[in-house]
Structure 1
Amino acid sequence: MALVTTTEMFRKAYEGGYAVGAFNVNNMESVQGITEAAGELKSPLILQVSAGARKYAGHIYLLKLVEAALVENDIPIALHLDHGADFAICKSCIDGGFTSVMIDGSRFSLEENIEVTRRVVEYAHSKGTVVEGELGRLAGVEDDVKVNSEDSSYTHPDEVEEFVARTGVDSLAIAIGTSHGAFKFRPGQKPQLRFDILEEVSRRLPGFPIVLHGASSVSQEYVKIIQENGGQLKDAIGIPEDMLRKAARSAVCKINIDSDLRLAMTAGVRAALFAAPSAFDPREYLKAGRADVKTLVKHKITEVLGSAGMA
C-alpha cells in the first residue's frame, strides 16, 4: 500500500465520530512501535515529522522507515510535516514524498498567515498534497516551537471562515486550551478545554476537519517509572483523556501525540538499563522502549481516539 493523504481519513472520522492519531516519529523504534500497534488494531494512522526529527534522523531515513512500515502493515498511513515554519520547508517535504504538510503561520498577523498559507496550499495542491493551517497559538515547547503563556492565544471563531475560504486549507488546527510539551499543568491546576470555541468553530465550518495539537495526557505511570529509575522529571499533568475523547466525537478529526511517546520510550529504556546496569547492547534497551511505545499507542487508539477497526 502506498502513502495516502488525510482527505478520506478525515471524511470517515468526521462522519464516524472518532479521530485519527498523528504520532510523531524520530527513529526506527518509534516508527515500529506506532505502526505495529495501529496495524494490529486496524486503525488509520498519521505519522508526523517535526523539524527537530528531520534534523536528527534526516528526511530520507525517516521516509524510508515509513515506507518499510507500509510493507509490514496493511493500513492507510499518511506522512505529515508537523509545524512547517515556512514555504521552503513545506516545499521540501512535498517534493520529498510527504502526503500532508502543516504550515504554521500562527505567529503572524491574520493577513500574513493567510498569505503564507495560501502560497503553500497552491503549491501542495498542484502536487496532490494536502495542507493543515493554524489559527491561534498554543503555549509550550516542542522542538523548534516555543511559545510562552503571555504570547499564546485562543482561536477566534470569527476568523475561521475567512481563513479557510481564502487559503483553501484542507484542515485547521485550533487553540482551545491544549499546550505543547510534557508539562502542561502543575499539580493543583485544573486543565480545561474551551469546548465553546470548538463548538462555534464547528458551527461556522460544518463538516470541516479540526486538529488538536499539544494533546498528550502525560501518563503518570511513565512519569513514575522515569522518576524511580533516576529521571529528574517534575510532577505534572496533561490533558485528561476524557476531554480528548469528547473532542474526538465532535469535529476534531486529528489529535497530535508526541510528548506521551517520548515519556513511554524513555520509561522503557530507563527501566531496562536499571534492571541490567551492565547492559551495553542497544537492541535490548531500545526494544524495551519500543514495546512501551506500542502499548501506549494501542491505549490511545482504543480509549481516546476511537479509531480501532476503522482502517
Structure 2
Amino acid sequence: MPLVTSKEMFRKAYEGGYAIGAFNVNNMEIIQGITEAAKDLSAPLILQVSAGARKYANHTYLMKLVEAAVIETGLPICLHLDHGDSFELCKSCIDGGFTSVMIDASSKPMAENIAVTKQVVEYAHDHGVVVEAELGTLAGIEDDVKVSAEDSSYTRPEEVEEFVTKSGCDSLAIAIGTSHGAYKFKPGTKPQLRFDILEEVSRRLPGFPIVLHGASSVPQEFVAKINQFGGNMPGAIGVPEDQLRQAARMAVCKINIDSDLRLAMTASIREHLAEHPDHFDPRQYLKPGREAIKAMVAHKLVDVLGCDHKA
C-alpha cells in the first residue's frame, strides 16, 4: 500500500466521531514504536515531520523509514509536513513524496495568510497532495515554532468561512486553548478548551475537518521520572485527555501529539541508564525507549483518539 492523503481518513473520522493521531517523528525508534502500536490496534496514522526533524534526520532517511513502516504494517499512513513556514519548504516536501503539508502563516494578517495558503494549495492540489492551514495562534515552543502567551490568540469563528473558501485548504488548525511544547500551563490551573469556539466553527464549516495542535497531556509520572534521574523540568500540566476525547467526538479529525512521546522516551532512557550505568550500546537503552513510545501511542489511539480498529 502506498502512502495516502488524509482526505478519506478525515471523512471517516468526522462521520465516526473520532480523531486521527498525528505523531511527530524524528528517528527510526520513534517511527517503529508508533507504527507497531497502530498495527496492533489496526489504526490509521499520520506521521508528521517538522522542519527541525527534517534538518536533523534528513529528508531521504525519513522518507525511507516511513516507506518501511508502510511495508511492515500494511496500514494507511499519511506523511505530513508539520508547521511549514514557507511555500518553498512545502514545495520541497511535496516534490519529495509527502502526501500532506501544513502551511502555517497564522502569524501574518489574514489577507496574507490566505494568499500564502492559496499558493501552497494550488501547487499541492496539482500534485495530489492535501493542505492544512492555521487560523489563530497557539502559545508555546516546539522546534522552530515560538509564540509568547501575549502574542497567542483564539481563532475567530466569524473568519473561518472566508478563510477556507478563499484559501482552498483541506483542513484547518484552530486555537481553542491548547499550546505547544511540554512547558504548558502552570500547576494549580485547570486548562479548559473553548468548546464554544469549536462548536461555532463546526456550525459555520459543517463536515469540514478541524485540527488541534499542542494537544499533549504532559503525564506527570514522566516529568517526575526525568527529574528523579537527573533532569530539571519545571512542573507543568497539559491538556486533559477527557477534553481531547470530547473534541474528537465533535469536528476535530486530527490531533497532534509530540511532547508526550518525547517525555515517555526520555524518561525511559534516563531510568534505564540510571539502573544500568555500564550500558553503552545504544540498542540497550533505545529498545526500552521504543517500547515506551509504543505504550504511549497505544493509550492515545484507544483512550483519547478513539481510532483503534478504524484502519
1:57 aligns with 2:63: no
Please name the residue that 1:193 is paired with.
193
| Structure 1 position 289, deviation (Å) | 0.6
| Structure 1 position 238, deviation (Å) | 0.3
Q: Secondary structure at the match of 1:79?
A: strand
Please name the residue that 1:179 is paired with.
179
Q: Secondary structure at the match of 2:79?
A: strand
Q: Secondary structure at the match of 1:185?
A: coil
Q: What's the TM-score once normalised by structure 1's chain length?
A: 0.99
Q: Secondary structure at the match of 2:151?
A: coil
How many residues align? The count is 311
CA RMSD between the two structures: 0.5
| Structure 1 position 143, deviation (Å) | 0.2
1:298 aligns with 2:298: yes
| Structure 1 position 133, deviation (Å) | 0.5
Runs of 4+ with >3 A deviation:
none
Q: After superposition, what is the alpha-carbon deviation per residue over 1:260-289, rounded to whole angstroms, capped at 9, x for unaligned?
A: 010011011111101101110000101111
Q: Distance in 1 between matches of 2:222 and 2:249?
A: 27
Q: After superposition, what is the alpha-carbon deviation per residue over 1:186-243, rounded to whole angstroms, capped at 9, x for unaligned?
A: 1111201100000000000000000000000001121121111111111111000000
Q: Distance in 1 between matches of 2:210 and 2:291?
A: 30
Q: Secondary structure at the match of 2:80?
A: strand
Q: After superposition, what is the alpha-carbon deviation per residue over 1:3-48, rounded to whole angstroms, capped at 9, x for unaligned?
A: 0000000000000000000000000000000000001100000000
Q: Secondary structure at the match of 2:185?
A: coil
1:153 aligns with 2:179: no
Q: Secondary structure at the match of 1:169?
A: coil
Please name the residue that 1:103 is paired with.
103
Q: Distance in 1 between matches of 2:262 and 2:85?
A: 22
1:76 aligns with 2:72: no
| Structure 1 position 66, deviation (Å) | 0.2
Q: Secondary structure at the match of 2:125?
A: helix
Q: Distance in 1 between matches of 2:264 and 2:95?
A: 32
Q: Secondary structure at the match of 1:102?
A: strand
Opposite residue 229 of structure 1, the aligned amino acid is F
Q: What's the TM-score once normalised by structure 2's chain length?
A: 0.99
- The within-5 A match list for 1:248-259 is 248-259=248-259
Opposite residue 47 of structure 2, the aligned amino acid is L
Please name the residue that 2:66 is paired with.
66
Q: Secondary structure at the match of 2:3?
A: coil
Opposite residue 117 of structure 2, the aligned amino acid is T
Where structure 1 has 5 or more consecutive residues not aligned to the other structure, the ranges are none
Opposite residue 300 of structure 2, the aligned amino acid is K
| Structure 1 position 82, deviation (Å) | 0.1
Q: Distance in 1 between matches of 2:239 and 2:48?
A: 20
Q: Secondary structure at the match of 2:132?
A: strand
Please name the residue that 1:140 is paired with.
140
Please name the residue that 2:24 is paired with.
24
- The within-5 A match list for 1:217-256 is 217-256=217-256
Opposite residue 306 of structure 2, the aligned amino acid is G
Please name the residue that 1:276 is paired with.
276
Opposite residue 290 of structure 1, the aligned amino acid is R
1:8 aligns with 2:8: yes
Q: After superposition, what is the alpha-carbon deviation per residue over 1:133-170, rounded to whole angstroms, capped at 9, x for unaligned?
A: 00000000010000001110000001100000011100
Q: Distance in 2 between matches of 1:35 and 1:20?
A: 13
Opposite residue 56 of structure 1, the aligned amino acid is Y
Q: Distance in 2 between matches of 1:121 and 1:219?
A: 36
Please name the residue that 2:120 is paired with.
120
Q: Secondary structure at the match of 1:150?
A: helix
Q: After superposition, what is the alpha-carbon deviation per residue over 1:243-268, rounded to whole angstroms, capped at 9, x for unaligned?
A: 00000000000000000010011011
Opposite residue 307 of structure 1, the aligned amino acid is C
Opposite residue 130 of structure 1, the aligned amino acid is V
Q: Distance in 2 between matches of 1:116 and 1:181?
A: 26
Please name the residue that 2:91 is paired with.
91
Where structure 2 has 5 or more consecutive residues not aligned to the other structure, the ranges are none
Q: After superposition, what is the alpha-carbon deviation per residue over 1:94-125, rounded to whole angstroms, capped at 9, x for unaligned?
A: 00000000000101000000000000000000
Opposite residue 80 of structure 1, the aligned amino acid is H
Q: Distance in 2 between matches of 1:286 and 1:275?
A: 14
